[in-house]
Structure 1
Amino acid sequence: MPISRHLVDIHQHPPRWRRWPETEAIIEALTSDGGSVRFVGGCVRDSLLGIVTEDIDIATDLLPDKVLKQLEKANITAIPTGIEHGTVTAVMGKKHFEITTLRVDTKGHGRHADVAFTLDWQQDAERRDFTFNALYLDPAGHLVDPVGGLADLKVGYVRFIGNARARIREDRLRVLRYFRFYARFGADNPDKDALQACANFASELGNLSVERVQKELMLLLAAEDPYPALVLMSETGVLEALVGPVDLQKLKRLLSLNIESDAVQRFAVLLKGNQKSLHSMADKLRFSNKQKERISVMCAGQVTENMSPQDRNIALYQLGPLGFVDQTLMRWVDEGSQYDLTPYLEDAARWTAPVFPVNGGDLLAHGMAEGEALGRLLKQMEACWIASGFKLSKAALIREFLPDA
């Protein structure tokens, strides 16, 4: 029997963003000369589910140039972020509003579509991807549901608007979006037509922007439980088409630990913790340098089972808490849940890094000349200090390494 979620009555209990003074100012600016507006998409969907959001999308029957004019007239900063597709971003302080003119797709290219502007709200709804992303809220607080999204949201059913195959043909990224939304909102009731359509297009995902693929994949992995969606992705051939061979059982083991993990950790486990594969895929998906450095540390293997408290402290000092936790989770997944590495995580949670008591200035003051020899000596002294359990004082280290000083 399908679940039935309790949805918030957002007419009686408006979401927080609806009460912002900035929201009122935007509505006033767009409607002051006869325009119509409705909130749409994720802000409406999430508010119905009681999820706090600050990403506000507004649909309007005003043409983009008119939107710019009305906002500027009201002294609201207007940025033509996607003007060719009808999107203007309104900025008020730290608040951003995406305002898009009602539109209809005229020609799909697999990655984006040519659009024409329209005054027809139904046409605007029918060009969107999933039914619960085509829910509108008017300024008076009335919900408008042109394609049955409310019923689908209530039972956790992720359904394409219209023909799934046709919608994916318009934009192949919708394959990934299907699984991402299933991970967040699905209720163990995947749409068979959607899965078949995704499988049919699995081999055609290579032309997608890697930045868009990375964004969708990491958002999916960040879901509370991405495992069911990833299983479906694998069964349809989509997952392997994107990232190659994976280990879903390792990921399941990570999630079963009931330890908080993030998308990068899950990505590394999914790719079997294989450093070569991870670096190759991180490069392909254009991960940031910071993310790639984190993956390198994650796979380096300094953390092992049965480490003494002193060895754990040394690893924490060398890796930092994040690197230590990352390696701990990788080790725990590799060794199996029968190993309890909770003490490692507890060490990381209360870790305060000790400060190495010697610096270059100290050595210069004791007669050392600047240069490579000074740097090498500092490293030797630090290694000795670490081996002492961080206990040797500056004076003791100076006596040990510069006895004639």
Structure 2
Amino acid sequence: MTSLPTGFPPGDPPADRITPPGWLRQGAPAAVLAALPGARAVGGAVRDALAGRDVHDVDVAAPLPPEAIAARLRAAGLKVFETGLQHGTVTAVLDHQPVEVTSLRRDLATDGRHATVAWTEDWREDAARRDFTINALSMDAEGALWDYFGGRADLDAGRVRFVGDPATRLAEDYLRVLRFFRFHARYGRGAPDPAALAAIRAAVPGLARLSAERVWMELKRLLEAPEPAGALALMREAGVLAAVLPEAEELAPLQRLAAPPDPVLRLAALLPPGAPLDALARRLRFSGEEAKRLGGLCGAPPPAPALDGAALRRWLAELPAGVAAEAAWLAEARDGQDRAALRARIAATPRPVFPLQGRDALALGLPPGPAVGQALAAVRRWWLEGGCAASAAACREELRRAVRP
């Protein structure tokens, strides 16, 4: 393995130096940087450190081929998993803390979805292939900061700006259309970059080339932002929302939704009553759990703010488990009526569960078949009419009366 100089690369001095963040000086990130001379933390960790935000994941880049990176990391005692070797990425793990480490890269060819890359030792060349200036920052273990495209000034100004020509960056990967709005929702302030919006409007047809899984993943990340409504309004103006989520109608319910951030609940707030949920779930390749939650939320009868007592128990019993509080949030977002007291009553009221099953009817001598379901349905209606208060013993007695010749 060829050793690299530990000083700054010739002609590549840092733009600034800051006190190294704590996460850079301990644990897996510190071990990775120590094992790879010339390596730097890159991307989101550097951006969020400069923005004063919590750093959750640390990515590192190094001017070495991936095989050399893996060998050096293993020699330093770290576990190495070849998670994306064809893209130049390995994952180093120390004390259960993972760090993704990627070789510096340059693009050989792009098709709007994926890139063919080659390794390089040129940090600026690697930074030039990133999407936004705020994501093109890098920092070494001593706090030296490299900023080739004005990302720190953009971060301070609340400006999300593409690296270089926006149309070129978008043609490399059309998912960057959606990423722009996600980052604007989290880091943007004021009017968006006009050059970016102009390029995005022209790039809308390219969204059709993206896989449904990538589109939904990016939409979820946008919907997890603290305040996504402004970015969604920009997406509508640019023609992006109609291209990726044509079912979305009014943004006002989402703007009124005060619930903790949850992408499925926020998606439900964007959808009108009667939206084709099954078709939406198939098109965006929802997981089974996501499709079930969305169906439960959108299918729940909106609860009146004063719902209480037996009526509340009946409403809870008719809902899928786990959606009642969210259904109350959704109803409030749609009609603007406060339901804080109702949510408190929901939290204090166990969801009633009908206590009988088919075996209870069979135990009374009813033969298997449609009559079992009919008898249980009749008893369940009786149980609901009574406010879901009857015990299992009382329900069995009612079932006995229902099946008595």
TM-score range, shorter chain: 0.7 to 0.9
Aligned residue for 1:351? 349
Q: Do the aligned residues in 2 keep the contact of 1:10 with 1:47 (CA within 8 Å)?
A: no
Q: Do the aligned residues in 2 keep the contact of 1:321 with 1:351 (CA within 8 Å)?
A: no
Aligned residue for 1:260? 260
Inter-partner Cα distance in structure 2 for 1:354 and 1:299? 21
Inter-partner Cα distance in structure 2 for 1:378 and 1:50? 59
Question: In the alignment, residue 146 of structure 1 is paired with which amino acid?
Answer: Y
Aligned residue for 1:5? none
Cα shift at 1:110: 1.2
2:227 paired with 1:225: yes
Question: In the alignment, residue 348 of structure 1 is paired with which amino acid?
Answer: I
2:34 paired with 1:24: no
Inter-partner Cα distance in structure 1 for 2:265 and 2:17? 36
Q: Do the aligned residues in 1 keep the contact of 2:253 with 2:270 (CA within 8 Å)?
A: no
- CA deviation string 1:212-257 (max 9, x = no partner): 111111111221111221121111111112222532xx33333234
Aligned residue for 2:328? 328
2:2 paired with 1:12: no
Aligned residue for 2:61? 59
Q: Do the aligned residues in 2 keep the contact of 1:328 with 1:345 (CA within 8 Å)?
A: yes
Inter-partner Cα distance in structure 2 for 1:120 and 1:25? 23
2:394 paired with 1:396: yes
Matches within 5 A, 1:185-200: 185-200=187-202
Aligned residue for 2:218? 216
Unpaired segments of 5 or more residues in structure 2?
A: 1-15
Q: Given the alignment, which residue of 46, 66, 69 partners 2:71?
A: 69
Question: In the alignment, residue 400 of structure 2 is paired with which amino acid?
Answer: L
Q: Given the alignment, which residue of 183, 186, 193 partners 1:181?
A: 183
Q: Specify the SS of the correspondent of 2:117.
A: strand
Inter-partner Cα distance in structure 2 for 1:366 and 1:321? 29
- CA deviation string 1:80-117 (max 9, x = no partner): 22212211122335322111101111222111222121
Q: Given the alignment, which residue of 385, 388, 401 partners 2:383?
A: 385
Aligned residue for 2:51? 49
Inter-partner Cα distance in structure 2 for 1:287 and 1:235? 26
Inter-partner Cα distance in structure 2 for 1:72 and 1:165? 41
Cα shift at 1:19: 4.5
Aligned residue for 1:302? 301
Cα shift at 1:364: 6.2
Q: Specify the SS of the correspondent of 2:69.
A: helix
Q: Specify the SS of the correspondent of 1:114.
A: strand
Inter-partner Cα distance in structure 1 for 2:254 and 2:167? 34
Q: Do the aligned residues in 1 keep the contact of 2:84 with 2:90 (CA within 8 Å)?
A: yes
Aligned residue for 2:119? 117
- Could you say if the C-alpha distance between residues 166 and 85 of structure 1 is closer, same or farther in structure 2, counting changes exceeding 3 Å? same
- CA deviation string 1:340-367 (max 9, x = no partner): 3333322233332345555666666666
Q: Do the aligned residues in 1 keep the contact of 2:296 with 2:320 (CA within 8 Å)?
A: no
2:279 paired with 1:280: yes
Cα shift at 1:76: 2.7
Q: Specify the SS of the correspondent of 1:136.
A: strand
Question: In the alignment, residue 31 of structure 2 is paired with which amino acid?
Answer: A
Inter-partner Cα distance in structure 2 for 1:297 and 1:329? 13
TM-score, normalized by length of structure 1?
0.86
Q: Do the aligned residues in 2 keep the contact of 1:36 with 1:62 (CA within 8 Å)?
A: no
Q: Do the aligned residues in 2 keep the contact of 1:80 with 1:88 (CA within 8 Å)?
A: yes
Question: In the alignment, residue 295 of structure 2 is paired with which amino acid?
Answer: S
Aligned residue for 2:315? 315
How many residue pairs get aligned? The number is: 387
Unpaired segments of 5 or more residues in structure 1?
A: 1-8
Inter-partner Cα distance in structure 2 for 1:305 and 1:10? 58
- Could you say if the C-alpha distance between residues 64 and 13 of structure 1 is closer, same or farther in structure 2, counting changes exceeding 3 Å? closer
Q: Do the aligned residues in 1 keep the contact of 2:313 with 2:388 (CA within 8 Å)?
A: no
Aligned residue for 2:109? 107
Inter-partner Cα distance in structure 2 for 1:95 and 1:273? 44
Q: Do the aligned residues in 1 keep the contact of 2:29 with 2:58 (CA within 8 Å)?
A: no
Cα shift at 1:196: 0.2
RMSD of equivalent CA atoms:
2.7
Q: Percent identity?
A: 38
Deviates more, 1:353-362 or 1:98-107: 353-362
Inter-partner Cα distance in structure 1 for 2:196 and 2:239? 13
Aligned residue for 1:155? 157
Inter-partner Cα distance in structure 2 for 1:186 and 1:224? 12
Cα shift at 1:306: 6.0
Inter-partner Cα distance in structure 2 for 1:233 and 1:306? 33
Aligned residue for 1:3? none
Cα shift at 1:327: 3.3
- Could you say if the C-alpha distance between residues 229 and 381 of structure 1 is closer, same or farther in structure 2, counting changes exceeding 3 Å? same
- Could you say if the C-alpha distance between residues 392 and 260 of structure 1 is closer, same or farther in structure 2, counting changes exceeding 3 Å? same
